[in-house]
Chain A
Amino acid sequence: MNSSKVSGPAVRIENLDKYYGTFHALRKVNLSVERGERIVVCGPSGSGKSTMIRCINRLEEHNGGRITVLGTELDDDVANIDGIRREVGMVFQHFNLFPHMTVLDNCMIAPMIVRKLPRAEAEATARRYLEKVRIPEQAMKFPGQLSGGQQQRVAIARALCMQPQIMLFDEPTSALDPEMISEVLDVMVTLAADGMTMICVTHEMGFARRVADRVVFMDGGEIVEEAPPEEFFTSCRNERTRQFLSQVLGH
């Protein structure tokens, strides 16, 4: 998929509806993300943040509306889905590294079997990104031998090795001990500085302030508020947003 040449937003979500059985998890969500833009998504637990970003790479199937990623609409066409997944990296709350492979193999497997890169090239890429996330010396270890913060950085490197155009983060720091949060956020800040298109679900408001172009607040399956960070933090209009902010910033 040579979509870098396609113009238009990186991700466009229009009237997105998602049901789990009879439960209405996303209600007519609209969101457009430009190339190079950094979006932070926040909101109370259960508000549909994960569901929304998982719809972007089809880990969840949506039930209504349209999602267009890099000019390709997500539908039941498997080729489209595979193409989009190659261009969209994802980092999970619980890392989800492959425990039976070394760190290096974790980073090499997808480029080799999905992008069909030769081994030497895949290894060079993997080492470059491990360097970038500042753990080149752990390459031959297994994930179980690393700390949470190190594992999450490997997970970021693994996603980057596919050379994606968009990165999705689903609460990348919420499973980490406090002292490891900043090492992961630092990596994400570097990534943002490189111009990566990022959609981050996170409650790290300091991070939002530093890198986000826009902050999106969700509640009850809806986007309630959407604003640049300084505006979002100082003059948000919505009562629910204010309540939420006082909770996450309150201590």
Chain B
Amino acid sequence: MEMVVVAPPAPGKIEDLKRRFFATPLQALLSLISLAVMAFIAWKLLNWAVFSAVFTTSGGPEACQAAAGACWSVIAARWRIILFGLYPFDEQWRSALACVTVVVMTVLSCLPAFWTGRRIALVWGAGTALYYVLMKGGVLGLPQVGEEAWGGLALTLFIFVTTCLIGFPLAICLALLRRSELPWISRTTALIIDGVRSLPLISILFTFAIVLPFALPQWLVGDKLYRVILGSALFFSAYQAEIVRGGMQGVPAGQEEAAMALGMSYWQRIGRILLPQAMRNALPATINQFVISFKETSLVVIVGFFEILASGNAAYGTGEWRFAYVEVYAFIAFIYFVFVFSLSRYGAFLERRMSVGER
């Protein structure tokens, strides 16, 4: 005897839409109203952003004020301030190259092909050195530009990347110390983590930038920028340490036992067995922490750095473009979006990649 089982035909797109949104007359009415509202908003936005907008600087600010739409000419006129801050005008190509360096370095280290200790170290070592030489100059015939003049996107990226670069290994160290078998080590670490987490980032930045120089010997003070980055890395690591610890708790005890039984040393167990699994568990929360940190770089403005948001303020704040702040913020929002969205998509890629073979 033979039985032929036929799967029911998959409903077509139209059928599906009908069933979801037009099942009853009331539902149909609500769907139509929502559709109309959405279309209206979309049209208004599009009209403002494109059809009635001014794109060229030729008419100056006056042309903008006459038009009904967006004034994108402010971006055309002031993009250099937004991207590079107070960096000397003639040297801004260096700042642009530095941005590219950071982006390339980040993208490279996101590629699985670069995930060996030596390659990552090479990428980051060469990348940061190149960034520093480009931005600071003083060698190879490049005029020197002090850290206080760095700004805009280049500064935002630099602070973010170095915060993560210092904060991430620190977080792993803290997480490992916190699970130490020696109670005084784990308790002290817990105290540090909880202490840092209970302070607002602003107060930490302020302390590192303004207060620390009074407490430290002169030779240890360094530039304000690096102190700020250290503070921000410390803050990042306190949160990230808890995320990593959570990931470690999700790894069954049997994993470490199996590694021990095979004769692996402590660092081999940590590096090959515990951390890879812990980081896989911790990935979603980690990406979240990266996104938050990226946006929190804007807080450095309170200690006098003109990262991209503050540079945006400056771009419309002076003189004739004062009215065009919406456009400037829309532009900055777009830049944030590009970076944060790429970060999130990369996180999703990693999750897919790591879930290979998972039950």
**Interface set of A (CB-CB < 8 Å, partner B):** 57-59, 82, 85-86, 88-90, 92, 94, 96-100, 102, 109-110, 113-114, 141-145, 155, 158-159, 162
Contacts and interface: CB of A to CB of B under 8 A. Distances in A.
B263 interface: yes
Q: Which of B254, B262, B276 has the most CB of A within 10 A?
A: B262
Contacts of A92: 254, 257-258, 261
A113 B264 contact: yes
Given A92-B261, A144-B357, 4 more contacts: A98-B259, A113-B272, A159-B262, A162-B263
Interface in B256-299: 257-265, 268, 272-273, 276-277, 280
B358 interface: yes
7 contacts: A57-B261, A85-B261, A85-B262, A86-B263, A96-B257, A113-B268, A162-B263
B13 interface: no
Contacts of B118: none
Given A142-B356, A142-B357, A99 B263 contact: no
B255 interface: yes
B357 A145 contact: yes
Q: Chain B's interface: helix, strand, loop or mixed, by majority?
A: helix
Contact of A99 (B264, B272, B357): B357
Contacts of A59: 257, 260-261
Contacts of A58: 260
A159 to B, nearest CB: 7
Contacts of A155: 258
Contacts of B277: 98-100
Given A92-B257, A96-B254, A100-B277, A110 B262 contact: yes
Q: Which of B254, B263, B268, B354 has the most CB of A within 10 A?
A: B263
Contacts of A162: 262-263
Interface in B207-260: 252, 254-255, 257-260
Contact of A82 (B259, B265, B280): B265
B352 interface: no
A57 B258 CA distance: 11
Interface size class of B (residues with CB under 8 A): 20 to 34
Contact of A94 (B254, B259, B354): B254
Nearest to B354: A100
Contacts of A90: 258, 261
Contacts of A159: 261-262
Contact of B276 (A94, A100, A141, A145): A100
Contact of B263 (A82, A102, A142, A143): A82
A239 B60 CA distance: 103
A167 to B, nearest CB: 11
Contacts, number: 72
B262 A114 contact: yes
Contact of B261 (A89, A98, A100): A89
Nearest to B358: A144
Contact of A85 (B254, B260, B280): B260
Contacts of A113: 264, 268, 272
Contacts of B273: 98
Contacts of A96: 252, 254-255, 257-258
B352 to A, nearest CB: 14
B280 A100 contact: yes
Contacts of A98: 255, 258-259, 273, 277
B264 A110 contact: yes
Given A141-B357, A142-B357, A85 B258 contact: no
Q: Which of A58, A96, A113, A162 has the most CB of B within 10 A?
A: A96
A109 B257 CA distance: 15
- Give me the 5 closest cross-chain CB pairs, A-B, nearest first: A142-B357, A96-B258, A110-B262, A96-B254, A85-B263
Given A143-B357, A144-B357, A114 B257 contact: no
Q: Which of B254, B255, B261, B265 has the most CB of A within 10 A?
A: B261
A158 B358 contact: no
A23 to B, nearest CB: 19
Nearest to B357: A142
A99 B358 CA distance: 7
Contact of B262 (A141, A144, A158): A158
Contacts of B280: 100
A98 B272 CA distance: 10
Nearest to A85: B263
B255 A109 contact: no
Contact of B264 (A57, A114, A141, A144): A114
Q: Which of A89, A94, A99, A141 has the most CB of B within 10 A?
A: A99
Contacts of A57: 260-261
